[in-house]
Amino acid sequence: MSRKTASSMKHWTPAAPIWLGKVRGRRSIRPMNFLTRVVLLAVVVLSGLAGLTAQQPSRKKLLFLTHAGLYKHTSLGPAEKAVIELGRTGGFDVTTVEGYKQEAEKLDFAFFTPEYLAGFDGLMLMTNGNLPMTDAQKEALLDFVSSGKGFVGAHCAALTFYNYPAFGDMLGGYYRRSIRQNAIGVLKVEDPSHPATKMLGGSWPLVDEFYHFGTAPWDAARPKDNIDVLFGNQIPMGLSRDRVHVLLSLDTAKTNIEGMADVVKGGDYPQAWTRNYGKGRSFYTSLGHRDDIWSNDPVFRAHINGEIRWALGIED
């Protein structure tokens, strides 16, 4: 050590240590012990998690029923699988009961109660026939939607509850006959801003089964009008643009209508629409007949995802 350094050290005064008492009349800062640090760290982490949770909306819950009372579409199983997959990234969890596996004469709706429905934010039906629900169960379905919940009807849902006109009022209309299966139709996008159609542009060419719907209640004076031509169900109410907001319709100017039953140039053939029902939202699309469209067609899947998200109030 040099003399210069040693000499300098003679005049060096070390800093006063931090005691647990007082130093020169001032209260010292107590050292933070290990337990205190752990507690503070936990508070910071939990606060961050709470903030993150607050930023992420809770996932919606959808009940999807596929019971078939008239005809069992082979697309029912693929439809359940597709909707479950869509929910994983779409912000909703899907519950199914695999109703399509039940035989028509053994359909079981014992589970369908107001208490059970209370656990969901929306109901999706791809059903058909006059399902064996009690009047109380049917009323519970409508009360569920009108209370502010969501409803989605896909394809054959328009062949459901011909014997319960209040259901048709909520859905928007009833099936009368098929236009044609597995034909190329060009759908006109009437509302390109809706979550179910915003990916389509101005038109959507598609191979599927399109529907005609009843236009008025069945009348005994005209027994062949407004009747379900497949199963003979009398249609209790007609589809009207005054009651629904049409999203998609068959574009007869761009579609080859040759061989399409009861279709004329310039005719009006809605295929998807929305409706406000009480405080709730109701959506219907006639599409979904084909098995592969549910698994292999990304545009159709986006259409279905958008309609579910709209009905559940996730997206406007």
The pair phi, psi for residue 106, each rounded to 5°, is -125, 25
Give the separation between CA 130 and CA 310, rounded to whole angstroms: 27
User: Would the CA dihedral through 170, 172, 176, 177 be positive or negative?
Assistant: negative
Give the separation between CA 247 and CA 40, rounded to whole angstroms: 55
**What pLDDT is attached to residue 216?**
97
**What pLDDT is attached to residue 55?**
57
**CATH code linked to domain 58-311:** 3.40.50.880
Give the separation between CA 197 and CA 202, rounded to whole angstroms: 9
Give the separation between CA 209 and CA 273, rounded to whole angstroms: 16
Distances (CA, A) of 308 to 61, 90, 145: 11, 9, 14
**What pLDDT is attached to residue 37?**
53
Surface-to-core class of residue 115, CB atoms within 10 Å of its CB (0-12 exposed, 13-18 middle, 19+ buried)? exposed
- Write the DSSP symbol of residue 100: G
* pTM higher than the cut 0.85: no
243: its two tokens? 């009651």
Distances (CA, A) of 63 to 94, 108, 110: 6, 15, 15
**What pLDDT is attached to residue 36?**
52
3: its two tokens? 């003399």
**What pLDDT is attached to residue 82?**
98
Q: Which three-class secondary structure state does DSSP give residue 122?
A: strand
Residues of the chain with pLDDT under 50: 1-29, 38-46, 48-54
Give the separation between CA 176 and CA 170, rounded to whole angstroms: 17
CA 105 from chain centre, in angstroms, equals 29
- Write the DSSP symbol of residue 290: S
Pair 130, 163: CB distance under 8 Å: yes
**What pLDDT is attached to residue 183?**
84
**What pLDDT is attached to residue 32?**
53
User: Mean pLDDT score of the chain, rounded to an integer?
Assistant: 88
Parse the chain into domains and list their residue ranges.
58-311
